[in-house]
Amino acid sequence: MIILIDMDDVMADTSERFYSVLRARYPDNPEFKVDRTHFHIKDEYTPESLNLVEAVLYSPEFQLAIPPVPRSLESVTEINNRGHHVIFCSTPHEVYETCVAQKYKWLEAKLGRTYARKLILTDDKTLIFGDRLIDDKPEIKGLITPSWEHVLFIRNYNCHVQGKRRMDWSNWREVLVEL
């Protein structure tokens, strides 16, 4: 099978890094004391806080220092070793200059160059062929009806989503039984 795997908050623990930087830098900002409840950060913060958030997210140092989501690296290696094709499928944020090369470098640092070359960057994941897409985004839309089944990667901001299989790296073997 072709297994498409999102990067931010599925492979890379972007939220973990995001909050650790923001809380260290702005310890008194009440908006950063609790984890976000929306997938899109623009829906979460006041314009003043959003400026601070974007300065962190779009800084060149941000991406490479993101820790992996616990058990993500071992799980991906196991999926690959079971004979499936792992393809990373990620949408760069709009300030792409500070994240495109860094996404490749992050994968190379964590999993090696062979895995880094399996990265597809796209704004529309429906255009990418696959059997499963593991992604934390609640709803994934695009130009065409996707070939893949969206398996939701559990995060606190997507708990409300119904009608999809849900997994994280602790239970993926039970959820993706067909693998």
Give contact residues for Mg ion (rule: CB under 5 A). Answer: 6, 8-9, 136
Measured between alpha carbons, how far is 45 from 156 in angstroms, rounded to an integer?
17
Residue with tokens 């960057």: 121
Task: Report phi then psi at 88, rounded to 5.
Answer: -85, 135
Shortest gap between Cβ of 157 and Mg ion (angstroms)? 11
Q: Which residue has the tokens 């490479």?
A: 64
Q: Assess whether 168 carries a catalytic annotation.
A: no
Any catalytic annotation for residue 6?
A: yes
| Residue type (1 letter), 106 | W
Instruction: Give min distance, CB of 7 to Mg ion, in A.
Output: 7
Instruction: Say which residues have a Cβ less than 8 Å from residue 58's Cβ, sequence separation at least 6.
Output: 93, 95, 98, 99
Report the residue number, 13 or 136, with the smaller CB distance to Mg ion: 136
Minimum CB distance to Mg ion, residue 31 (Å): 21
Closest residue to bound Mg ion by CB: 8
Q: Which of 147, 150, 153 is nearest to 169 (CA)?
A: 153
The catalytically annotated residue of 8, 13, 135, 136 is 8
Minimum distance of Mg ion from residue 97's CB (angstroms): 20
Q: Helix, strand, or coil here: 152? A: strand
What are the residue numbers of the active site?
Answer: 6, 8
